[in-house]
Amino acid sequence: MQPVPLKILVTANDFDVAAETRRLTEARKDVGAVVTFSGLCRDEAGTLSALELEHYPGMAEAELKRIADEALERWPLTGLTVIHRFGMIRPGENIVLVLAASAHRRAAFEACDFLMDFLKTRAPFWKKEHLTESNEARWVEAKTSDDDDATRWKKSKI
């Protein structure tokens, strides 16, 4: 059976995890595992009022597709979905969703982990923190630990 068509979406709108999971499993009997990663906005112990997500329209979608295509090549997936939001996101709201479906759990776990590591270091999105205590906003600095996470997948071509 052919994999469910790849879904890449960059949107200001929220997403529905249950509906996205259904898209990868309905009308199929070969899916044994769906691994879901959803990233949410935290309030950093009450200090953060919102995250503002800026992106590079066009390249954001293209880069997510390049990373997803590599995952589809490396693991026997039956479906893959990547959704990333932009704009103002409040604590408790969704930011990002990766769903990887496969016959067995290992491929789904690894593909999901791989997607997130490369998404963080390669997909053109930038977070700005808006603080509760002031009108100040500041750009989040990239973590070198994220680069380290991405180098774990060293046979990667990207």
Partner 1 sequence: MKVLYFAWLRERTGTAEEQIELPEAVKTGMDLMLWLKQRDEGYDYAFEDPDLIRIAADQEHVEADADITQAREVAFFPPMTGG
Residues that bind partner 1 (CB under 8 A): 39, 53-56, 58-59, 62-63, 84, 95-96, 116, 119-128, 139-142
Q: Would you say 58 or 76 has its CB closer to partner 1?
A: 58
Beta carbon of residue 6, minimum distance to partner 1 (angstroms, whole number): 18
Q: How far is CA 26 from CA 15, 79, 98, 123, 153, in A?
A: 18, 11, 18, 29, 31
Round to whole Å and give the CA distance between 102 and 107.
6
**Strands, sheet with 137-139, edge to edge from the N-terminal-most edge strand:** 87-89, 48-55, 125-131, 137-139
Residue with tokens 């293209």: 62
Q: Would you say 4 or 123 has its CB closer to partner 1?
A: 123
Beta carbon of residue 96, minimum distance to partner 1 (angstroms, whole number): 5
Beta carbon of residue 1, minimum distance to partner 1 (angstroms, whole number): 30
H/E stretch holding 7 reads strand 7-11
Q: Would you say 30 or 139 has its CB closer to partner 1?
A: 139
Q: Would you say 75 or 125 has its CB closer to partner 1?
A: 125
Beta carbon of residue 103, minimum distance to partner 1 (angstroms, whole number): 27
Angle at 154 between CA 152 and CA 155, to 5 degrees: 140
